[in-house]
Structure formats: structure tokens, C-alpha cells
Amino acid sequence: MLRTVHQRTTRAKSNRDWSAQIRDGVRGLASGFLVGIPVVFTVDTWWLGDQLSPDDSLLLVLFAYALTLAAVYWIGFRRGLRKGWEHWADAVEALALAMVVLLVVYLALGQLGPGRSIVTILGRIAVASSPVALGIAIANHLLPRDARRYEPDPGDAAALRKTGLLRSIDRFWMETAAAIAGAGFLCLSIVPLDDLSAIASNVPLGNLPWILVMSLVVSYVIVYAAGFAGESKRQHWRGALDHPITETILAYVVAILVAWGCLMIFGRITIDSPATEVYVKTVLLAFPASMAAAAGRLAV
Amino acid sequence: MSERGRRTGVASEVVVLLFSLLVVGGFVAVALWMSNSTADSDIAGLEMTFDIDATIERDEGFFVPYAITNHTASGVAAAEIWIEVFDGERMMETAEIRVEFLPVESRQEGLYVSRFNPADYEFRGRLESLLYP
């Protein structure tokens, strides 16, 4: 007797409890940071924001929403099938996340204090909201949940080279190299423009420890708290170098060294530069560099 | 998914959406409010103030803190301002300063070094030219 089997396509069910909401949000934030922070570290973005009228800011945010809606429709940052009004809601959430991120970043950079008008703050957020919101909206593509950090696709060079289980020390060197590559890639796109000098002169010295702490927290979030595949495996490693906190700090040290090296290579600092100038520029540049280093480690 | 789990899921989505609407709506509301409040601003509303009480005397000169605030409806790309020191109606000293960029309702602070004590003389700021972005 023949029996017809109707095979149904399976779609990932959207798990919409609180933990899923938070994970999707954090993953979106990680992606938004990666795409948007280099834009924030361009002083032209600041100046452009300073010149905007409130009406211009509104228009720009409207444009950012339209762009985000399109990206959310095709890619998105939430798990599961989204439909109808959920796309509109997701775009609002991505835009809101972007605004909160930018508020926090500008606050850390000391750009929301006395002497700054509300119009300036609105303008700066409006200018940078498009890239950050877009970064959040494409999180499923940029930082896919099912990415395998240590199980490359068959045929990849990494898979062909791999003959057995990687030892902990091998993983360490692989990740360090990836962090250097990621941080170097970003530093080389920022340092030659010398926007950093203008930004460094605008950021109060007392804000740098906050920037340092934020660099560490965001790096940790990108690699460990955003719900990527392999994350649970990483958190179970018990080597001294494999602990999430140790690894995050080591990756930050790598970002600092790469930032310092790039500044030296391009002559933005020299051996004779005052220690304060070296400190300010290096810590500032290490902020986006640490995120790129985290992205590099994810790409391994 | 159980009925309870489904309800929790919907509630979490609604809460997140409401918070997001609050953030974006807050941005839009503030922008609209600022748009209305700056629309009627003076076209050349640059204000210059001297903080006489905070003056520091050093090397036979007086370091007088000043602040220039932009109350116009748009950012200022550049402005030339003359600082003039008067003894009654007689001008004793004059110097030009240049503001490179001043967004709406923003303030630029600086120090003017004068030979005259601001406690005894009158310090005035006079706008000479203004360039919009």
C-alpha cells in the first residue's frame, strides 16, 4: 500500500520570550556597532550633524527609517519569520536601538554636556542613525546566529588545513591573528584621514576611562553575549587563555597595540609625543578597533 | 508553544515596541519643538558676554573669559566679531576675533587678553560679518 507523505517545509519558529528579545536586541546592537561606529569616528559626521536644523534632522531620521524598513524586510535582526506589521515594528526597534547607542557613545565621548545645544545633539544622532540602524537591521546577515566559528564550511581553506581538533593554544593564536587583522583593517581606514586629532581635542580627558570600559563591554557582548553558535562551547572552555574575561582583555590589548602601531606608522604620534596625546589617541582609536577585533574573532 | 508562553512572547514584543516608540517619538517630539522655538529667532542673534568676575590678572594683562552664543535659527559657518574696550565713550582698545563654526544654541568660550581692567572699563562685542553654512 502506497502512502503519500506530504513533506512540509519547516521554518524557524520565532521564539519571542524575553531572553529571545534580549538576545536579538544585543546581536542587533553588536552589528550596529560594527557598521556604525567607524562613521561616528569621522569628524565630518560631527560637523555635518552640527549644521543640521531640527527639520533636516527629522527628514534624515525619516530616511533612516525607510532604509531600515527595507533592510529589516529582506534581512532583519530577529529570529523566525516576520510578517506584516512586525516589519514596521522591527524597523522602529532598530532605529530606537541606534538612537540609544549613539546617545551612549556621544555621552562617553563627552559630546552631550554644557555648551552643546539640543539641536546639535539631534543633528549628530540623525546623521549617524542611518548607518547604525542599518547595521542593526542586517544583523542576521552580518553576524548570523548559526555561524560556526570553529567548524568552517567543507572546502574552505580553514577546513582543508584542519586535520584534527584544534588545541587551545592554536585557537589562541588563530584568534589573536584574527583580532589583529580586524583591528588593523579598521585602523587603516580611520588613521590616514587624521579625523582622530580633531576628535581627540574635543573629548574630555576624564571621559577616556569610560570609553575604555565601553570598549571592553562591547567586545565581550559581540563575542559572548549576542547568541552566536559556538558561544556556549566557548564559555565552557577552561584554559587560562580561554576564559571569556581573559580573552576579552587580551583582545583589547591587541586592539590597543594595533591602534598605537597604526598611529606611529602614519606619524599621528611619535616617540617624542607627549604621553597624554599618545594615551588619548590610542584609547580613542582602540574603541572602534576593539569592535573590529571582536568581529575578526567571530570570522575565524 | 504553550498558551502562557505565547502570551509572554506577545507581551515582551509589545513592551519592546512601546519602549522603541517612546525613544523614536521622543526624538521626533524634541525636533518638532526645537523647530518651532528656533523659527522666530533673530537673524543675527549672536550674543557675546564677558565674565568680568572671573577675570585673571597676569603679567600686566587681564585675561577676560567670554562666551559667544548662537541664538539664530541656523548654524553659523563663520563670524567676525570685534571686541571693543571703552572708557566712557572713548574707545581704548579693539581686537577682532573669528568664530569658525557655531551650531544653533551652541556656545563658544574663550579668553580675551586686554591691557585694561574690565572692572574699570566697559567691554563690548560687535558683530561685523556672519557666514551661513
Sole residue written with cell 553558535 = A229
Spatial distance between the Cα atoms of B16 and A83, rounded to a whole number of angstroms: 17
Q: Which residue has the higher pLDDT, B11 or A48?
A: A48
Percent of chain B, pLDDT > 90?
Answer: 26
Predicted confidence at residue A218, as pLDDT, reads 85
Predicted confidence at residue A54, as pLDDT, reads 87
Predicted confidence at residue A2, as pLDDT, reads 45
Predicted confidence at residue A63, as pLDDT, reads 93
| Per-residue pLDDT tens digits for B62-92 | 999 998 888 777 778 888 899 999 988 888 8
Predicted confidence at residue B98, as pLDDT, reads 87
Euclidean distance between the first and the last CA atom of chain A, given in angstroms as a whole number: 51
B87 is written with which cell numbers?
A: 572708557
Q: Which residue has the higher pLDDT, B41 or A89?
A: A89
Q: Which residues of A touch B13 (CB under 8 A)?
A: 16, 21, 89
Q: How far is A96 from chain B (nearest CA, A)?
A: 5
Which of A21, A47, A125 lies nearest to residue B16, judging by beta carbons?
Answer: A21
Quote ipTM for the complex: 0.75
Q: Which residues of B touch A100 (CB under 8 A)?
A: 23
Do A81 and A14 contact (CB within 8 A), yes or no? yes
Q: Which residues of B touch A25 (CB under 8 A)?
A: 16
Q: What is the largest CA-CA distance in chain A?
A: 88
Q: Which residues of A touch B9 (CB under 8 A)?
A: 14-17, 20
Residue B53 exposed, middle or buried by CB count within 10 Å (0-12, 13-18, 19+): exposed
Buried/exposed A91-102: b ≥16 CB within 10 Å, e otherwise: bbbbbbbbbbbb
CB contacts < 8 A (A, B): 101
Reported pTM: 0.73
Which of B22, B105, B133 lies nearest to residue A117, judging by beta carbons?
Answer: B105
Given pLDDT bands bounded at 50, 70 and 90, which one contains residue B2?
low
Predicted confidence at residue A12, as pLDDT, reads 47
Q: Which residues of A touch B99 (CB under 8 A)?
A: none
Predicted confidence at residue A1, as pLDDT, reads 43
Predicted confidence at residue A300, as pLDDT, reads 62
Residue ranges of alpha helices (H) inside A75-156 are: 85-108, 118-137, 139-142
Predicted confidence at residue A150, as pLDDT, reads 53
What are the residue ranges in chain A where pLDDT is below 50? 1-14
Q: Looking at the predicted structure, is the pLDDT value of residue B10 above 80?
A: no
Predicted confidence at residue A283, as pLDDT, reads 93
Question: Interior CA angle at A54 toward A49 and A56, to 5°?
Answer: 70
Q: How far is A150 from chain B (nearest CA, A)?
A: 32
Does B31 contact A93 at a Cβ distance shorter than 8 Å? no
